[in-house]
Homo-oligomer: A and B are copies of this chain.
């Protein structure tokens, strides 16, 4: 980690030293100008940057510092999951306002727990002063055949991992001044990047994937557009958290579950390999018809066409 003028060399070095002591062997290669890593021969390097910012992605009253660190790190790692990649390392650019400094060890504990769960060492980063807590997290991974959004083919089935609607329900409760239920809150506060699931799906014939960051309705449209196909969503099939309606589940963003297109898959084998995690068929991929090109996503209920609920912005309401 490099030092910066802001905190003064002494103070920042102290903060960085404390972080490194806390992370122990989970932080490697930090101290040189850059970290040195090996990408396995024959594999591609997969990289992504993802920022989590106070008042943009969460409010301080909602989450503990440990949860903020965990969630920001898992959100970044989720991009590796979507590519079917194995983690190689994580770099952190932390902006820490004065009134957050006392919470830094707790924040670091959440980051360290998340990188540890993913088996990803912390290989670099820096700490700077600022007005809002912000975590810009770069994740590095490797994959022999990275999944993209662009490979879905007519005839593929659309699957989602897990159960949807929790983060949206939690945000809806907080925005209405209520405390969310425990399960919905945990889905927002403690998401799990589907790293192992992404690699399993890539190895079992997935043709395209992305993580659910905008909500299923919006992300199916992204997959359809990138792949140049039409998608049909079976609303009755969408796996919803207990108490969440399908309309709300379709709009629930930041799920960090995976949406994949694939020939028919063995959901039981998937669940057995991932501690019971569900893999649910929620639709199918069709060829773009010249007539239907403008609306590349259609919704059905029991085979009959219905309107697709629009995505919404929880913070903007």
**Residues of chain A whose beta carbon lies under 8 Å from any beta carbon of chain B:** 2-6, 8-9, 31-39, 41, 44-51, 53, 55-57, 78-80, 82-83, 85, 88-89, 91-93, 95, 123-126, 128-132, 134, 136, 138-141, 146, 148-150, 209-211, 213-214, 218, 226, 253, 311, 313-316
Contacts and interface: CB of A to CB of B under 8 A. Distances in A.
A91 B48 CA distance: 7
B45 A128 contact: no
15 contacts: A3-B213, A5-B314, A6-B55, A32-B83, A35-B47, A36-B45, A37-B44, A37-B47, A47-B91, A49-B91, A49-B92, A50-B93, A51-B95, A51-B136, A95-B134
Nearest to A141: B34
A47 B123 contact: yes
A142 B2 CA distance: 20
A117 B215 CA distance: 39
Given A35-B47, A134-B134, 17 more contacts: A2-B48, A2-B50, A2-B79, A3-B213, A4-B51, A5-B316, A32-B226, A33-B210, A34-B80, A34-B82, A34-B141, A36-B46, A47-B123, A47-B138, A48-B124, A56-B128, A56-B130
Contacts of A124: 47-49
Contacts of A34: 46-48, 79-80, 82-83, 85, 139, 141, 146
B128 A79 contact: no
Contacts of A315: 5-6
Nearest to A93: B136
A10 to B, nearest CB: 9
Most buried by B among A44, A92, A128, A315: A128
A19 B247 CA distance: 33
A247 to B, nearest CB: 18
Contacts of A125: 49
Contacts of A35: 46-48
A78 B34 CA distance: 10
A196 to B, nearest CB: 16
- A-B complex: 4 closest residue pairs judged by Cβ atoms: A93-B136, A6-B56, A34-B48, A136-B136
Given A31-B226, A32-B149, A38 B48 contact: no
Contact of A79 (B4, B33, B80, B138): B33
Contacts of A95: 51, 53, 95, 134
A53 B128 contact: yes
A218 B2 CA distance: 13
A123 B93 CA distance: 18
A207 to B, nearest CB: 14
B56 A5 contact: yes
